[in-house]
Amino acid sequence: MIKVYMAGPQVFLPDAAEKFEEWKAEAAKLGLEALSPFDSEVGQTTGENRESLSREIYNANLRLIRQCECVVADVTPFRGTELDSGTAFEIGFATALGKTVVQYNRDNRTVLSRTKAYYERIARVPLDDFLAEQDTMPDGMKVENFGHSTNLMIHHSGVATARDIITAFKDARYLVETAREMRQKRLERASTKPNTMFFQNKYMLKPEGGQQT
């Protein structure tokens, strides 16, 4: 069974454990075993051991990601214009390990349009104040403007076609199964390929003006 890790800010929901169990059931219908950050046994927090607990959670989540072939990540903006920072790290970690990453996003506005909307709605800065320079914000700094809905490093680290986790599960299954088939075909081709090094060594032409060594 294909194992996938669910990354996203849902860990902060008051009913997070129940929500992840619901998604696990949906994943199982697709032949997936979905893991969540709640699948590791960690201690209970107290005023004295918060630092050790946070380290324990960090290490536990990394172990879970290592167990999986794919990370399914919610990159919907969280408390601002960008995705949850913990999710961004988990995407990067999975990418570095060569894992498949499937992203889903319920807000497909571009980074530029979302940031402009933020200044107008939250910071109460009139949109006309920075329309003259399309990608420069009131703070004088430019906004990444490649037409993506996330930062380019997130955009290119995975497949970002889904708008919900169920569709992302389906994409994950297809991508992992396809990758498995491709690996199998490469192994089969490698096993039937003749040992060319043997023939090169055995029948190597003598160097010009000398003997074969």
- In the chain the domains, ranked by start, together with CATH numbers, are 2-107+149-199 (3.40.50.450), 109-148 (no CATH)
End-to-end CA distance of the chain: 52
Q: Is 155's pLDDT higher than 90?
A: yes
Q: Is 74's pLDDT higher than 90?
A: yes
CA distance 133 to 139: 12
pLDDT digits (tens, 9 = 90+) for 128-142: 655 545 677 777 788
Structure confidence at residue 192 (pLDDT): 80
- Contact predicate 170/34, CB 8 Å: no
CA distance 54 to 60: 10
- Contact predicate 19/9, CB 8 Å: no
Q: Is 197's pLDDT higher than 60?
A: no
- Contact predicate 71/156, CB 8 Å: no
Reported in sequence order, the residue ranges of 53-203 that DSSP labels E, i.e. its strands, are 70-74, 100-104, 159-162
Reported in sequence order, the residue ranges of the chain that DSSP labels E, i.e. its strands, are 2-7, 32-35, 70-74, 100-104, 159-162
- Contact predicate 148/107, CB 8 Å: no
pLDDT digits (tens, 9 = 90+) for 22-34: 999 999 999 999 9
Q: Work out the average pLDDT over 93-109.
A: 96
Structure confidence at residue 195 (pLDDT): 60
